[in-house]
Structures are given as C-alpha cells and as structure tokens.
With several copies, the nearest count.
Chain A
Amino acid sequence: MLDPVRIQAEDFSQNEEVEALKASSRRMGGIATFIGCARDFSEGREVSQIGFEAYGSMALAEMNKLRSEAIEKFGLLDARIVHRVTTVQAGDNIVFIAAGAAHRAAAFDACRWMIDELKQRVPIWKKEITPQGDAWVTPHP
C-alpha cells in the first residue's frame, strides 16, 4: 500500500489514492479531494512547463504534520497528501489531497484547509518555464 504522504516525480492515480483512503474505514461517507494541475498560462504569460524543487526531508515532515493536524482538527477518518517534484507540462497533475470523513462538511473543510496550509508551510518552490525564459514563482503576500 502506498504511503498516505508522499513526494514523488511520477504521476499519481486518483483511483488508487481513494481506494487506499477508503480502506482505512467503513464509516466513511464523504471524501473530498483536490487536484492541483499545471495551467498553460499564468498572469497572462504562456507557460510551457513548470519545474518544482523541494527541501525533501523538511517538506515530507511538514506534510505528515499537516495530515495529522487535519485528522485531529476536523475529526477525519483518514487523509492523504501527494506532491509531485519534477518538471510537468500543461495539464499535468501537481498535487493531490484527499480527506475522508463520516460526513461531507468535515471532508470539504479539511481538504481545503490542507491545500491552503500546504502552500504556506511546505518548502516546495515552482519555476515557470516560458518561451520568454524561466522565472521562480513569487507567491502573493
């Protein structure tokens, strides 16, 4: 069984992730997932590829902490976080978050909280590769 928190180059399968999530409990009534994927343009510039770099050991530790906190805070039955670190093309998957709970409200709240927190807390950086050159993305304040 794949670990519930992973950083990997290869793509993930939603079917596999949701299957693994559901395996943890038969009391799960609602599963909310978020998939972040590469857009073909950003702030008006055409983007042909997006490259990622991570401080791997710290990123994985933060993602594990994030998952445990979400389970605790929202009373989840299980949660998963997978982030790709590689170079992706437009349309490719980047990040997958899943939250499973008895009822849907907790699943939605937790899923959204995890992706919001991930962006704040997990040491990963993205670089947009455009026909005009490369640029590291500066998050909005």
Chain B
Amino acid sequence: MIKVLFFGPVADRVQTHEMQMDFSPGMTLHNVIAHLGIQHPGAFSIVSLIAVNQNQVHDKQMALQDNDEIAFMAKFSGG
C-alpha cells in the first residue's frame, strides 16, 4: 500500500486528507501523479512540493517502495 496525504488547500480540492493506493513493483512517483492528477486537476494545479516519507522529492521518476508515504502540498504559509 502507498499512503497518499493532502494538506490545506490541496486537501480542500481533493476533498480528503488521505487515500491509499495499491503498490505494484516498478511504480514511480510519476505514476501516482498521473493517476491522481487526471481525477483532481484543480488540486494538482496548486501542488508545488511533493514529499516521500517526509523528504522533499524533485525527481518524479523516483521508484516507490511498498508502504511509502507521499504528500502533495501547496506552498507553505505558516509562521
């Protein structure tokens, strides 16, 4: 299973904070983005940071592992 997290404005647009996706060997971050981006284009248009296991990731070709936690995030506005 891959755990997918959404926060703040992104969560509002996806209308959930969390979903699960089945893991399949060879799966990349790009596969997840492509799959979810089609269903939630409005949410993904404001995604500016992606983290895998709490670390920011720039390379969308990154291979995922089972039980990874992916977070799709809009620009931070804390402080």
B75 part of interface (Cβ distance < 8 Å): yes
Asked whether any CB of chain B lies closer than 8 Å to the CB of A74, the reply is: no
Chain A contact residues: helix, strand, loop or mixed: mixed
Residue of B nearest to A57 (CB): B54
Q: Which of B5, B49, B77, B79 contacts A136 (CB 8 A)?
A: B77
Query: Which of these, A55, A125, A139, contacts B5 with CB under 8 Å?
Result: A55
Residues of B near A125 (CB, < 8 A) are 7-9, 74, 76-78
Number of B interface residues at 8 Å Cβ cutoff, please give it: 17
- Indicate if A94 sits at the interface (CB-CB under 8 A): yes
By a CB distance below 8 angstroms, the chain B residues around A102 are none
Q: Is B43 an interface residue (CB 8 A)?
A: no
| Cβ-based interface call for B12 (8 A) | yes
Q: Are B71 and A95 in contact (CB under 8 A)?
A: no
